[in-house]
Amino acid sequence: MKCVGIDTSCDDTAIGMIDENRNIIAEEKMSLFCGKYGGVVPELAARNHLNYIDKLFMEVTGGEKIDLIGATVGPGLLPGLVVGSQFAKTYANLMNIPFVPVHHLEGHIEAAGYKNYPFIALLISGGHSDIYICHEFGKYELMIKTLDDAAGEVFDKIGRNLQLPFPSGPYIEQLAKNATIYHEPMVAMKGQLAFSFSGLKTKTLRINDTPENISWFLQESIALTLKEKLSMIIERTNIHKIVVCGGVSANLTIRNHLNSLNAELIYPPLSLCADNGPMIAFAAYEHYKHQTKYVNNYNIPEFSRMSLSEWNI
């Protein structure tokens, strides 16, 4: 079985093809960064998706017949989402194969391929810092959500201030390795079941030091904050299995901190942490396997925000 997943939720046009055993047969990704605007411009990103989607799709599939196609319908930037999901719907309709609308965050969780329910999922990306309890496939309970800046967003905003390329997370991780002064890290919203990183962002911006020392402080503070919230959730739920996913989960210092929690920690392979096509194909295939209400559901409009707990099967 050949299943294709398409993600156009942000600035990457990402397409991947998998088989029913989670093998990645092919994948392609094209990034557009509007450097001169300092971030992603939704309309420009959408035009870029439109320019590349056919070519990338042909490269991934080799023009051969596929059996299932899924595309992200949200959350993300609407103009880009429309390009990917309309492409997939049209293709499915013409070729008479099933179409599956995919929730981007479920794709991130599926990238880890963990099936030992129930487990905790920490989702840390450019748009989210959320903790869910995953009771079973398609049954998610939101425990903590992003109140303001997401973890990745803070990396990117501080990175912009340090004049680093976007997305800045990986650059901050590298710089932090060469820190010489270790400012006392801050646990954001200490003792509270909430993620708010705006105070940490302000504190970081006020530190007058080298990029290396600022990077160390920021990374350490984010790691300790994530660890504190997870340990509260472990205590509350008595669940000791944690999937950590989303772009920020590629950060090895953060992984090291989380690994000291009293739990089994599961991460996607590094290549599947950031947005990618295969993760959307994994999620689409799971829905197909479970024959959920999303299979061949053409009626879900693209959306910019929606928690995964509203995506239950």
Q: Which residues bind ligand KG4 (CB under 6 A)?
A: 10, 125-127, 152, 155-156, 167-170, 173, 246-248, 250-251, 274-275
Q: Are strands 99-103 and 139-144 parallel, antiparallel or unpaired?
A: unpaired
- Which C-beta is closer to ligand KG4: that of 135 or that of 160? 160
DSSP at 184: P
Q: Work out how close the CB of 76 gets to Zn ion at its nearest, in angstroms, rounded to a whole number.
A: 8
Rounded CA-CA distance 229/123 in Å is 12
- Would residue 43 be called left, alpha or beta, if left means φ above 0 and alpha means ψ between -120 and 50 degrees? alpha
Residue 263 tokens, joined: 């739990």
Q: Work out how close the CB of 211 gets to ligand KG4 at its nearest, in angstroms, rounded to a whole number.
A: 15
Rounded CA-CA distance 312/306 in Å is 12
Q: Which does 155 bind (CB under 5 to 8 A by kind): ligand KG4, Zn ion, none?
A: ligand KG4
- Which C-beta is closer to ligand KG4: that of 74 or that of 247? 247
Q: Which does 278 bind (CB under 5 to 8 A by kind): Zn ion, ligand KG4, none?
A: none
Q: Which does 173 bind (CB under 5 to 8 A by kind): ligand KG4, Zn ion, none?
A: ligand KG4
- Which C-beta is closer to Zn ion: that of 138 or that of 277? 277
Q: Is the dihedral of CA 299, 305, 310, 312 positive or negative?
A: positive
Terminal C-alpha separation, the chain: 23
Which range of residues in 120-128, 140-148, 186-194, 296-304 is near Zn ion by CB under 5 A? 120-128
Q: Are strands 12-18 and 139-144 parallel, antiparallel or unpaired?
A: unpaired
Which range of residues in 117-125, 131-139, 172-180, 224-232 is near Zn ion by CB under 5 A? 117-125
Q: Is the dihedral of CA 169, 171, 176, 177 positive or negative?
A: positive
Q: Does the footprint of Zn ion cover residue 213 (CB under 5 A)?
A: no
- Which C-beta is closer to ligand KG4: that of 74 or that of 138? 74
Residues 6 or more apart whose Cβ sits within 8 Å of residue 214: 158, 162, 204, 207
- Which C-beta is closer to ligand KG4: that of 44 or that of 239? 44
Q: Work out how close the CB of 2 gets to ligand KG4 at its nearest, in angstroms, rounded to a whole number.
A: 25
Q: Which does 156 bind (CB under 5 to 8 A by kind): ligand KG4, Zn ion, none?
A: ligand KG4
Collapse the DSSP code of 11 into the 3-class scheme (helix H, G, I; strand E, B; otherwise coil) and give the result.
Answer: coil
Q: Which does 79 bind (CB under 5 to 8 A by kind): ligand KG4, Zn ion, none?
A: none
Q: Which does 274 bind (CB under 5 to 8 A by kind): Zn ion, ligand KG4, none?
A: ligand KG4
Q: Does the footprint of Zn ion cover residue 125 (CB under 5 A)?
A: yes
Rounded CA-CA distance 110/70 in Å is 13
Q: Where are the alpha helices (DSSP H) in the chain?
A: 42-61, 78-95, 104-110, 151-161, 169-176, 198-206, 211-237, 252-258, 277-290
- Which C-beta is closer to ligand KG4: that of 101 or that of 246? 246
The residue within the footprint of Zn ion, chosen from 11, 275, 286, 302 (CB under 5 A), is 275
Rounded CA-CA distance 101/266 in Å is 26
Which residues of this protein are in contact with Zn ion, per CB under 5 A?
A: 125, 275
